Structure 1
């Protein structure tokens, strides 16, 4: 997305374009998030329609991806998009590999530290606990009340906003 700002001659060409850093960032953001989602969904529905037409099955309808279950998937996509955008401007070489490695490393460390911390705080009987999720014991489950659990949906949105802001801040630091 912003890999052209990495290093070398490509960075020099990208940095000398007659546009502000905000305009360059917004073009990358718009193309990689809303435009990508619209094009991806259009191609998905076209492929689904073609398969249904080719199979000739009566009574079959297109898959509905706009269900309430799609909300968490979209939130995860927002965080991954923010991480990818940040990684593409932060690293100069092998942006995808380094960003993916960092993402897996942080997610793994967070999961391990969360489980071990809960075992130390609550009990050795903690069987499974995702970060910011329910805690499962051998014979019971500890969960937040539904009204408070809804606030956890803001966490990925805030994280995505912070990653987008960090990517923009890093882009504004780039100079020839």
Structure 2
């Protein structure tokens, strides 16, 4: 959702705003891997990591029969690997207003009414972008998921938006759809 496609004057430390409307219809969480590329040098970053299953996970509270986070609360954390689980450590938690995964903090604000998360670039460990430079960001991996408490909290895909390879667990299929947003940074 932001930075918007074809926008100009974007901050050198932009805030990426992602919408996870699947949480409005019953998903317990959404997961993303973003690519950010400098269109002059073609260098860039994968956020939060190069593997497609290095994910930014956003969970809005669905209560004890869902993700165990109180309704109205949220958690945002990074995870990696073939199995979707809790954050590996407190360092992986970006936001946890519920306290489920650690001390409450809000470095990646979630708007549970609008079902969006705002991720400042520096929170993801990336330095400021270059001034007056064209960039592109895209979603490399993106899906929503739901817990099955009656099955030991097994997680199943709820809807897959994009996934790059059928060999990358936890989703052993491919869906090569992605969206690109081009923007130009402003001056210092």
Interval containing the TM-score (normalised by the shorter chain): under 0.3
Q: TM-score, normalised by structure 2?
A: 0.25
More strand by share: 2
Higher-Rg structure is 1
More helix by share: 1
